[in-house]
Amino acid sequence: MMIRRLLTAAFAVACLAAAAPEPSGPKADQAAFQAYFFDKFPDVKHEDFGNGPYAVNAKMRKQWQEIMEFPPYDFALDEGKTAWETPFANGHHYADCFDNGGIGIRQTYPRFDAKTGQIVTLDGAINACRVQNGEKPLAYQTGMMASITAFMAESSRGKPFAIEIPNDPRALAAYEKGKEFFYSRKGQLGFACASCHVTGAGQRLRGDILAPALGILAAMPIYRSDWGSMGTTDRRFISCSSQTRALPYPAQDESYRDVEYFLAYMSNGIPITGPGTRP
Amino acid sequence: MPTIRMKAISSGDTTEVQALVQHPMDSGFVKDASGALIPAHHIETVIFEHNGKTVFTALWGPAVSKDPYLKFSFKGAAKGDTLSATWIDNMGKSDTGTGKIA
């Protein structure tokens, strides 16, 4: 009798749980994603997640603070500033292509473009601006593209990521594709982005400390000592793909743009720290 | 654009100098995308002078990294003094930059 009553009670609870499904959609994903990291790293201040591995490892943080006495991205920043101030052949500037003259807007990219139904990254918008003004597009991974995005990121430091997913099924589809990419295992090693940057965040992968996925884009573009030069988000994605022995996609491929959209949206509220420096 | 960034901070007796030099520092052993050797192009000498007196000399070779960073300290300078730095590379190119001691 007692047991039957208990079973009935358990059944009732199960029904209740089924009747109120777990909330889904980008907002709920974001809350769960951020809660996971805040819970995993209770001592890390939320705004510090933009500092990647330095937020979660005290020894690396100390070395980084010494490096920051003389940031290695300084030369790129100067180059970017000069290019920003130099007019195109038609007399227009980069500033003419962006909201607020391009200053302090990095945290609003990537964006969904309702005209094309595609995700536009900051890097993509810079090249669109060049083409629109009769200039050749820049190569995506390093060089001038990194310098210009460095300049734009620097002007946006401290502004929290504010990515919007407009009420458009195509925007939601891009978000879902990016999310799927992030959690899908790929390559010979069978790693998903999430394997290292969610589950493994803060742990060592050989000599490296894995950066938490939350805020990982806030420092872009980055000077990596491993590269000995600057690199954009594309360069980072492509080298991540190679490191897991997956065939990388071309820079600005739809997959990469979608995953950047997903990741940036997950990081809403985390302030921009770029340009950054990484080991 | 200046190729030398300098920060010199005096703490009374000693002055600590940090500098970042922009230079490709090609070792001469690396090939480009088409398989051709990139010729050696690296700094050979770096000299820091204070009031016309050399306070630091470095002899660099092909094993030093691109955009090298250096740090040293010396005695006998005061806040507000000017410090000059010069590099000369194996192709005979050179540059000089100056900084104020803070």
Task: Check residue B38 and give its pLDDT.
Answer: 95
* Structural domain of B59: 4-29+38-97
Share of chain A above pLDDT 70, in %: 92
Structurally, how many domains does chain A consist of? Answer: 1
Look at residue A229 and tell me if it is in a domain. Answer: yes
A16 part of a folded domain: no
The pLDDT, as a whole number, for residue A6 is 52
Instruction: State chain B's mean pLDDT as an integer.
Output: 93
Q: A236 lies in a domain?
A: yes
Task: Please answer yes or no on whether B1 and A70 come within 8 Å at the CB atom.
Answer: no
Residue A19 resides in a domain: no
User: Residue B23: inside a domain, yes or no?
Assistant: yes
Summarize pLDDT for A230-254 with one digit per residue, the tens.
999 999 999 999 999 999 999 999 9
Inter-chain touch A74–B7, beta carbons under 8 Å: no
Q: Are strands B53-59 and A204-205 parallel, antiparallel or unpaired?
A: unpaired
Q: Distance between CA atoms of B49 and B101, rounded to whole angstroms?
A: 12
The reply to whether A5 falls in a domain is: no
Model confidence at A207: pLDDT above 90: no
* Amino acid present at A52: G
CATH number of the domain to which A70 belongs:
1.10.760.10
Domain with residue B58: its CATH number is: 2.60.40.10
Q: B102 lies in a domain? A: no
**Three-state secondary structure of A70-105:** CCCCHHHHHHHHHHHHCCCCCCCCHHHHCHHHHCCC
- CB contacts, 8 Å: A69 with chain B: 7, 18
A69 touches chain B (CB under 8 A): yes
Instruction: Output the six-digit token pair for A108.
Output: 């609003």
pLDDT in tens, A8-55: 555 555 545 555 667 789 999 999 999 999 999 999 999 999 999 999
The C-alpha angle A105, A109, A112, rounded to 5 degrees, equals 130
- A85 in contact with B, Cβ within 8 Å: no
Which tokens in the block code for residue A22? Answer: 């777990």
Say if A83 is an interface residue toward chain B (CB within 8 Å): no
Contact B5 A70 (CB under 8 A): yes
> pLDDT tens for residues A140-197?
999 999 999 999 999 999 999 999 999 999 999 999 999 999 999 999 999 999 999 9
B73 domain residue, yes or no: yes
A126 is a domain residue: yes
B11 within some domain? yes
The pLDDT score that the predictor gives to residue A19 is 56
- Please report the ipTM that was assigned to this predicted complex: 0.72
**Assigned domain for B93 exists:** yes
Average pLDDT value over all residues in chain A = 92
CB B58 within 8 A of CB B70: yes
Domain region containing A250? 24-279
Give which of A175, A201, A184 is closest to A241, Cα–Cα. Answer: A184
- A188, part of any domain: yes
* H/E run at residue A260: helix A254-266
pLDDT of residue A189: 94
Residues 6+ apart with CB under 8 A from A187: A241, A244, A245, A246, A247
- Does residue B24 form part of some domain? yes
What's the confidence (pLDDT) of residue A152? 98
- C-alpha distances in angstroms, A135 versus A73, A88, A142, B94? 25, 7, 18, 33
Q: What is the mean pLDDT of residues B22-34?
A: 93
Task: Take residue A197 and report the two structure tokens written for it.
Answer: 């940057």
* Burial of B26 (C-beta count, 10 Å sphere; 0-12/13-18/19+): middle
Number of domain units in chain B: 1
**Residue A196 annotated among the catalytic residues of the structure:** no
Q: What average pLDDT does this structure show over B38-42?
A: 96
Do B18 and A79 lie within an 8 Å CB cutoff?
no
Q: Give the pTM.
A: 0.85
Three-state SS at B82: strand
Answer whether residue A4 is part of any domain: no
